Chain A
């Protein structure tokens, strides 16, 4: 199982802070594609520029997923 988290604008667009998934694809990029394939808000939110993190480290789309991972999808950051 992996825990998937959504932050800021993405969370508002999706209407969800996150979800747990028992079944997940081998990479985070494929997970993003699978989520976008839900259509509607999902396609819109995940179709733009989205940052991805596994266990609180930024990763690229080829990063592999494993059981127990904390996965996050983040909008471009605007702090400072």
Chain B
């Protein structure tokens, strides 16, 4: 299986990455994609809040290893020809893409399911942290969501291992 895992500050082009993923491989019959964007609204407790910018921090080295392990776990569960995972770090503006997951397989079911699996596990196991800046200039770290833990647990039980 071909795998392309990148952590970068630069934006990515979904069309270009999709073309690259399956280029020359005519065994690929399905490509599923997920793109995560910086959203203006976030909920803190019961309150809605608007955000101005988002900054993503990560643990260089460990991040790449964690993403590699998640992609390996997907490849063990589904017959995949290729996977691309790109996660951005640094300061991002509203509407900008944060993360891209592309999965290529012979058939759609493996592509859809593995794409969702990779995102669900990434949300709970890859060492990235979001910090939001509010219009008043205050900054706050985003809290982990219980629903993300449940989404990951649905696939795995306790972890990728």
**Residues of chain B within 8 A of A21, CB atoms compared:** none
* Stretch binding the partner chain, chosen from B24-32, B44-52, B139-147: B139-147
- Asked if B33 lies at the interface with its beta carbon under 8 angstroms from chain A, I say no
Interface centre among A8, A12, A49 (most CB of B within 10 A): A8
Chain A residues 45 to 61 lying within 8 A of chain B, measured CB to CB, are 49, 51, 53, 56-58
- Asked if B79 lies at the interface with its beta carbon under 8 angstroms from chain A, I say no
Cα of A76 to Cα of B99 in the assembled complex, Å: 18
Cα of A54 to Cα of B125 in the assembled complex, Å: 15
**Residues of chain A within 8 A of B36, CB atoms compared:** 80
Residue from B99, B123, B131, B159 in contact with A77 in the complex, judged by beta carbons closer than 8 Å: B123
Cα of A79 to Cα of B36 in the assembled complex, Å: 10
Cα of A7 to Cα of B130 in the assembled complex, Å: 12
**CB atoms of B128 and A77 under 8 A apart:** yes
**CB atoms of B141 and A53 under 8 A apart:** no
Cα of A78 to Cα of B56 in the assembled complex, Å: 9
A residues lining the B interface (CB < 8 Å): 5, 7-9, 12, 49, 51, 53, 56-58, 72, 74-80
**With A8-B141, A75-B141: A80-B128 Cβ-Cβ less than 8 Å:** yes
Chain B residues 116 to 161 lying within 8 A of chain A, measured CB to CB, are 119, 122-131, 141-144, 159
Interface string of B54-77 (1 = CB under 8 A from A): 001111011001100000000000
- Asked if B98 lies at the interface with its beta carbon under 8 angstroms from chain A, I say yes
Cα of A8 to Cα of B144 in the assembled complex, Å: 13
Cα of A10 to Cα of B80 in the assembled complex, Å: 38
**CB atoms of A80 and B98 under 8 A apart:** yes
**Residues of chain A within 8 A of B125, CB atoms compared:** 58, 77
Residue from A5, A56, A80 in contact with B119 in the complex, judged by beta carbons closer than 8 Å: A80
**With A8-B131, A9-B141: A77-B62 Cβ-Cβ less than 8 Å:** no
**Residues of chain A within 8 A of B124, CB atoms compared:** 77
Cα of A76 to Cα of B143 in the assembled complex, Å: 8
Nearest first, the 5 A-B pairs at minimum CB distance are A79-B128, A76-B144, A8-B129, A56-B62, A9-B141
**CB atoms of B65 and A77 under 8 A apart:** no
**CB atoms of A79 and B59 under 8 A apart:** no
